[in-house]
Structure 1
Amino acid sequence: MEKLKNIIKTHPKKLIVLLVLLVAYYFCLPKKLFNEPTSTVVLASNNELLGAVIADDGQWRFPKSDSIPIKFQQAIVQFEDAHFYKHVGFNPISIYKAFQQNRKAGKVVRGGSTLTQQVIRLSRKNKKRSYIEKLKEVILATRLEFRHSKKEILNLYASNAPFGGNVVGLEMASWRYFGLKPAQLSWAESATLAVLPNAPSLIYPGKNQQKLKVKRNKLLHKLYKEAIIDSITLELALAEELPQKPYRLPTTATHLTQEISKKYKGNRIETSLDIHLQKQVNQLVKRHYNRVKQNEVFNMAVLVLDVKTRKVLAYVGNSPTDKKHQKNVNNILSRRSTGSVLKPFLYASMLQSGDLLPQQLVSDIPTEIAGYTPKNFNEEYDGAVPANEALTRSLNIPAVRMLQRYGLEKFREDLKEYNINHIDRSANHYGLSLILGGAEASLWDLCKTFAGMSSTVNHFEELKHQYYSNEFVEPTYFKNKKVSFGTIVNQPKNIDAGSWFLTLETLTNVNRVATDQAWKYYDSAQKIAWKTGTSFGNRDAWAIGTNANYVVGVWVGNSDGEGRADLTGVGSASPLLFNVFNLLPKSDWFLEPFEALIEEDICTESGYLALPICPSTKKRIPQNGLKSKSCPYHKEILLSKDNLYRVTANCEDITSISKKTWFSLPALMAYYYKQNNADYRQLPRFKTGCNPLENNTISFIFPKDKQTKVSLTKGFDGKTNPVVFKLVHNNTEAKVYWYLNDEFLKMTENYHEIAVTPKKGKYTLTVIDDLGNEVKKSLEIN
Structure 2
Amino acid sequence: MKSSSVVTFIKRHPKKLLLGLFLVIAYYFCLPKQLFTAPTATVVESSSGRLLGALIADDGQWRFPEVDSVPHKFETCLLLFEDAYFYQHPGFNPVAMAKALAANIKSGRTIRGGSTLSQQLIRLHRGQKQRSYGEKLIELILATRLEFRHSKSDILKRYASHAPFGGNVVGLEVAAWRYFGLQVHQLSWAESATLAVLPNAPSLIYPGKNQDRLLQKRNRLLYKLYKNNRIDSTTYQLALLEKLPQKPFPLPKKAPHLLHYIAKDDKGKRIRTTIDENLQLSVNTIVDKHYQHLRQNQVHNAAVLVMDVNTRKVLSYVGNTPTDKEHEKDVDMVQAVRSTGSVLKPFLYTAMLDAGELLPGMLIPDIPTQIAGYTPQNFNESYSGAIRADKALAKSLNIPSVRLLQDYGVQKFREQLNFFGLRGLNKPANHYGLTLVLGGAESTLWDLCKSYASMASTVNHFIETSSEYYKGEFIAPIIKDKDQADFGEKSTEKTIFDAASIYLTFEAMKEVNRPDGNESWEFFDSSKQVAWKTGTSFGNKDAWAIGVTKDHVVGVWVGNADGEGRPNVSGVSSAAPILFDVFDLLPRSSWFQEPLDEFMPMETCLESGYLATEICPKKTVAIPNKENFVAPCMYHQQIYLEDQGQYRVNASCIDLSNAKAESWFVLPPLIEYYYKRSHPTYKSLPPFLADCIQDSGKQMEFIYPKNGSRMSLVKNFEGKKNELIFKLAHSKPATTVYWYIDEKFVGKTTHFHEIGLLPRVGEHKITAMDTSGQEAVISITIE
TM-score normalised to the size of structure 1?
Answer: 0.90
**Residue identity opposite 2:449 in structure 1:** C
CA distance in structure 1 between the partners assigned to 2:740 and 2:561 by the alignment: 43
CA distance in structure 1 between the partners assigned to 2:111 and 2:656 by the alignment: 128
Shift, 1:389, TM fit: 0.6
CA distance in structure 2 between the partners assigned to 1:465 and 1:772 by the alignment: 60
* Structure-2 residue corresponding to 1:69: 71
Task: Please give the residue correspondences for 1:80-229 in structure 2 after superposition, counting only pairs within 5 Å.
Answer: 80-229=82-231
CA distance in structure 1 between the partners assigned to 2:66 and 2:507 by the alignment: 50
* Structure-1 residue corresponding to 2:745: none
* Structure-2 residue corresponding to 1:246: 248
SS of the equivalent of 1:256 reads: helix
CA distance in structure 2 between the partners assigned to 1:606 and 1:85 by the alignment: 85
Shift, 1:654, TM fit: 3.2
* Structure-2 residue corresponding to 1:778: none
* Structure-2 residue corresponding to 1:514: 516
Q: Which runs of 5+ in 1 are unaligned?
A: 701-711, 730-735, 741-752, 760-764, 776-782
Q: Please, which moves more after superposition, 521-530 or 8-17?
A: 8-17
Q: Please, which moves more after superposition, 528-537 or 225-234?
A: 225-234
* Structure-2 residue corresponding to 1:748: none
- Residues 614, 655 of structure 1: CA spacing in aligned structure 2 closer, same or farther, 3 A cutoff? closer
Task: Verify: 1:541 aligned to 2:559, yes or no.
Answer: no
Q: Which runs of 5+ in 2 are unaligned?
A: 703-712, 731-736, 742-753, 761-765, 777-783
Partner deviation per Cα, 1:517-560 (whole Å, 9 max, x = no partner):
11111221110000000000000000000100000000000000
**Residue identity opposite 2:166 in structure 1:** G
Task: Please give the residue correspondences for 1:307-706 in structure 2 after superposition, counting only pairs within 5 Å.
Answer: 307-624=309-626, 626-693=628-695
CA contact (8 A) 1:686 1:693 kept: no
Shift, 1:342, TM fit: 0.5
CA distance in structure 2 between the partners assigned to 1:99 and 1:699 by the alignment: 109
CA distance in structure 1 between the partners assigned to 2:286 and 2:644 by the alignment: 66
**Residue identity opposite 2:576 in structure 1:** S
CA distance in structure 2 between the partners assigned to 1:694 and 1:635 by the alignment: 14
Task: Verify: 1:302 aligned to 2:304, yes or no.
Answer: yes
Partner deviation per Cα, 1:572-618 (whole Å, 9 max, x = no partner):
00000000000001111111100111122222211112223222222
CA distance in structure 2 between the partners assigned to 1:294 and 1:662 by the alignment: 54
* Structure-2 residue corresponding to 1:56: 58
Partner deviation per Cα, 1:691-738 (whole Å, 9 max, x = no partner):
3358989999xxxxxxxxxxx9x9xxx9969889899x9xxxxxx999
* Structure-1 residue corresponding to 2:733: none
* Structure-2 residue corresponding to 1:746: none
CA contact (8 A) 2:669 2:701 kept: no
SS of the equivalent of 1:592 reads: coil
TM-score normalised to the size of structure 2?
Answer: 0.90
Among all aligned residue pairs of Structure 1 and Structure 2, give the percentage whose two residues are the same amino acid: 56
Question: Which of 259, 262, 279 in structure 1 is aligned with 2:261?
Answer: 259
- Residues 758, 501 of structure 1: CA spacing in aligned structure 2 closer, same or farther, 3 A cutoff? farther
Partner deviation per Cα, 1:53-89 (whole Å, 9 max, x = no partner):
0000000000001111111111111101111111111
Partner deviation per Cα, 1:630-660 (whole Å, 9 max, x = no partner):
2111111112222222221132133432111
Shift, 1:766, TM fit: 11
**Residue identity opposite 1:528 in structure 2:** V
**Residue identity opposite 2:544 in structure 1:** W
CA distance in structure 2 between the partners assigned to 1:516 and 1:370 by the alignment: 40
The Cα RMSD (Å) is 2.9
Shift, 1:451, TM fit: 0.3
CA distance in structure 2 between the partners assigned to 1:580 and 1:158 by the alignment: 40
CA distance in structure 2 between the partners assigned to 1:698 and 1:330 by the alignment: 54
Shift, 1:3, TM fit: 2.7
CA distance in structure 1 between the partners assigned to 2:355 and 2:348 by the alignment: 10
CA distance in structure 1 between the partners assigned to 2:177 and 2:170 by the alignment: 11
SS of the equivalent of 2:694 reads: helix
Q: Please, which moves more after superposition, 517-526 or 388-397?
A: 517-526
CA distance in structure 1 between the partners assigned to 2:200 and 2:163 by the alignment: 9
Q: Please, which moves more after superposition, 666-675 or 426-435?
A: 666-675
CA distance in structure 1 between the partners assigned to 2:774 and 2:279 by the alignment: 62
- Residues 754, 493 of structure 1: CA spacing in aligned structure 2 closer, same or farther, 3 A cutoff? farther
CA contact (8 A) 2:42 2:269 kept: yes
CA contact (8 A) 1:598 1:620 kept: yes
CA contact (8 A) 1:355 1:625 kept: no
**Residue identity opposite 1:24 in structure 2:** A
* Structure-1 residue corresponding to 2:707: none
Shift, 1:13, TM fit: 1.5
CA contact (8 A) 2:46 2:52 kept: yes
CA contact (8 A) 2:378 2:398 kept: yes
**Residue identity opposite 1:669 in structure 2:** I
SS of the equivalent of 2:420 reads: coil
Task: Verify: 1:6 aligned to 2:8, yes or no.
Answer: yes
- Residues 773, 543 of structure 1: CA spacing in aligned structure 2 closer, same or farther, 3 A cutoff? farther
CA distance in structure 2 between the partners assigned to 1:254 and 1:737 by the alignment: 69
* Structure-2 residue corresponding to 1:35: 37
Task: Please give the residue correspondences for 1:275-286 in structure 2 after superposition, counting only pairs within 5 Å.
Answer: 275-286=277-288
Shift, 1:687, TM fit: 2.3
Partner deviation per Cα, 1:725-771 (whole Å, 9 max, x = no partner):
899x9xxxxxx99999xxxxxxxxxxxx9996489xxxxx99699x9
CA distance in structure 1 between the partners assigned to 2:449 and 2:696 by the alignment: 59
Q: Please, which moves more after superposition, 8-17 or 419-428?
A: 8-17
CA distance in structure 2 between the partners assigned to 1:68 and 1:361 by the alignment: 69
Q: Number of aligned pairs?
A: 737
Q: Please, which moves more after superposition, 374-383 or 679-688?
A: 679-688
- Residues 672, 697 of structure 1: CA spacing in aligned structure 2 closer, same or farther, 3 A cutoff? closer
SS of the equivalent of 2:73 reads: helix
CA contact (8 A) 1:635 1:662 kept: yes
- Residues 182, 698 of structure 1: CA spacing in aligned structure 2 closer, same or farther, 3 A cutoff? closer
Partner deviation per Cα, 1:271-314 (whole Å, 9 max, x = no partner):
00000000000000110100111111000000000000000000
CA distance in structure 1 between the partners assigned to 2:727 and 2:362 by the alignment: 36
CA distance in structure 2 between the partners assigned to 1:545 and 1:726 by the alignment: 41
CA distance in structure 2 between the partners assigned to 1:114 and 1:557 by the alignment: 59
CA contact (8 A) 1:454 1:546 kept: yes
* Structure-1 residue corresponding to 2:781: none
* Structure-2 residue corresponding to 1:749: none
**Residue identity opposite 2:299 in structure 1:** V
